[in-house]
Amino acid sequence: MTATVPAMSAAKLRLQSATAGVTSRYPSRDQALAVPPAGSHLKPVMGNYGFPVLGHVMSSLVEPLEFARARYARYGPVSWAGGIGFRVVQLMGPEALEAAWINKDKAFSSTRGWAPVIGPFFHRGIMLLDFDEHRDHRRIMQQAFTRSALNGYLDLMRPGIKRTVSAWPATQRFPFYASVKHLLLDQAAEVFVGARLGAEADQLAADFHDTVCGGQALIRADVPGGAWARGLRARERLERYFSARLPARRAGEGTDLFSMLCRSRSEDGDRFTDADVVNHMIFLLMAAHDTSAIAVSMLVYELGRNPLWQDRLRDEALANPDDELTLDALDGYPLLDAAFNEILRMYAPAGTLFRQAIADTEVAGHYIPRKSQVAINVYASMRLADWWPDPDRFDPARFLHGADAGPVHRYAFAPFGGGAHKCIGRQFADMNVKAIMHQLLRHFDWQVPVGYHPPMSWGTGPTPADGLPITMRRRF
Ligand code: HEM
């Protein structure tokens, strides 16, 4: 799949930035979200709407970290902010995140939380299911993520990674983020869908790209020519694509993810309907793609700025005599593990998660009324100095065995979420990132100009908006 992935235009970034500058200065009065019930001893959630209609949307897109940390300093771990007609409760810090993820009184719905954000494009994907139905689907899906299934995916992905990475040019201003997105799209065709590269895979990539962009559109209406409308049409084409190929996958013996989902059965023998497989496939492509692209890109960026760490990781990769990675060898990368964790902490690729309160509830002693839209801010939570000393500094040593006791809360480091919806693909992501980095470290060294910081936009999480140009040098 080789659809072009355009970097966000500088003009669009400048416009967003200017709008944020104007809207952030709007004087907006602090208010309680709702009055807690008498005698409940709960505190109200405090916050303000911000600029009329738009609320704080532009600031949270343009300066998500600064915006969230300022709210945390002013209101604490639970606050609210306005955004395009909604009042959105913001949760930050490990205790608040834990309460939403563990969801002990089943007051938080993922279906309703995610619906206004990505519902039309990813409806009935597993992350958008709730409670018993979600549990039943997860039991079936789990069978497509067993160790032997992962082994099959790694076998399918290794040749493509080697072929692509070794063909990358040694050049200045190599657009790394855009290139790794291409690599992952090709990989999605082969490993997820079991499709051959070529025109069919290119169309698949284009439709997938438009579906994802639909969910991120600022103008959220089916206006002809708009990103939302393009996304809806692309989703329809993806549905037709997967439906048409489903019977053959059910009957076949493929080891790609599509075939595995078709054949997966829970321990009780339940399996997915045709519609389930289609919905899950479309969601899985999205869940895996942008998150992994952000993780690899930001790791390469930080290693480009920190040559000592790059050298240490390279020595570790070269210590493995095999040019190709196996599942058993994955544990032999403590330094890469530490660096990957540090990237997930600094640039949480699934940066904000959504829920809706379907009953009155509380988080960290704050009263949250039914129907509140809730944003779980994973990204900014892992950048709080309360939990991470010098939080903006890249320091993989935080995660090395024997490092200081470090963060003391179970959810201080939680890039894959927690509770029932915790990421099902974390081993897949780990194996994929390591397989790519193994090739890259062995074949290239790279650097970024002194003082270079990529302009960032917001996709599923913080995303380099300029394609991430780096200088690549072939090692032999
Ligand atoms: C660095 C890469 C990744 C990160 C940081 C990440 C992060 C997350 C997070 C935070 C959630 C929780 C969502 C919520 O609670 O609302 C999640 C869910 C999910 N992720 Fe990932 N993810 C990554 C890669 C992947 C990959 C590679 C796959 C598939 C191959 C995947 C599949 C899923 C699925 C299916 C869910 C929904 C699980 C459920 O609702 O039961 N993810 N991911």
Map out the domains of the chain with their CATH numbers: 10-474 (1.10.630.10)
Are 107 and 100 a contacting pair, CB within 8 Å?
Answer: no
Are 135 and 270 a contacting pair, CB within 8 Å?
Answer: no
Which pLDDT belongs to residue 14? Answer: 83
Does the CB atom of residue 416 touch ligand 1 within 6 A?
A: yes
Indicate which atom in ligand 1 lies nearest the CA of residue 433: 1
Cα(400)–Cα(356) distance, integer angstroms: 37
Binding residues: 423
Tokens representing 95? 């205790």
Does the CB atom of residue 439 touch ligand 1 within 6 A?
A: no
Per-residue pLDDT for the chain (476 aa), expressed as one digit of tens each?
433 344 566 787 788 888 888 788 888 899 999 999 999 999 999 999 998 988 998 888 889 999 999 999 999 999 999 998 889 999 999 999 999 999 999 999 999 999 999 999 999 999 999 999 999 999 999 999 999 999 999 999 999 999 999 999 999 999 999 999 999 999 999 999 998 878 888 899 899 999 988 887 878 888 888 999 999 999 999 999 999 999 999 999 999 999 999 999 999 999 999 999 999 999 999 999 999 999 999 999 999 999 999 999 999 999 988 888 889 988 899 999 999 999 999 999 999 999 999 999 999 999 999 999 999 999 999 999 999 999 999 999 999 976 665 557 999 999 999 999 999 999 999 999 999 999 999 999 999 999 999 999 888 899 999 999 999 999 97
Length of the chain: 476
Distance of CA 287 from the midpoint of ligand 1 (Å) = 6
Does the CB atom of residue 428 touch ligand 1 within 6 A?
A: yes
Tokens representing 296? 């690899």
Give the closest residue (by CA) to ligand 1 atom 43.
423
Binding residues for heme: 423
Give the closest residue (by CA) to ligand 1 atom 9.
416
Does the CB atom of residue 72 touch ligand 1 within 6 A?
A: no
Burial of 157 (0-12, 13-18, 19+ CB in 10 A): buried
Distance of CA 284 from the midpoint of ligand 1 (Å) = 8
Indicate which atom in ligand 1 lies nearest the CA of residue 349: 5
Residue in 103, 127, 423, 437 to alter for ligand 1 test, most ligand atoms within 8 A of Cβ: 423
Phi, psi of 241 (to 5 degrees): -60, -50
Is the Cα torsion angle 323, 329, 332, 334 positive or negative in sign?
A: positive
Task: Provide the b/e sequence for 444-469 (b: ≥16 CB within 10 Å).
Answer: bbbbbeeeeebebbbbbbbbbbbbbb
Which pLDDT belongs to residue 215? Answer: 82
Does the CB atom of residue 424 touch ligand 1 within 6 A?
A: yes
pTM (two decimals): 0.95
Which pLDDT belongs to residue 403? Answer: 65
Which pLDDT belongs to residue 24? Answer: 82
Cα(411)–Cα(406) distance, integer angstroms: 12
Burial of 54 (0-12, 13-18, 19+ CB in 10 A): buried
Residue whose structure tokens are 């993820």:
101
Closest by CA to 193, choosing from 263, 254, 275, is 254
Which pLDDT belongs to residue 171? Answer: 96
Give the closest residue (by CA) to ligand 1 atom 41.
421
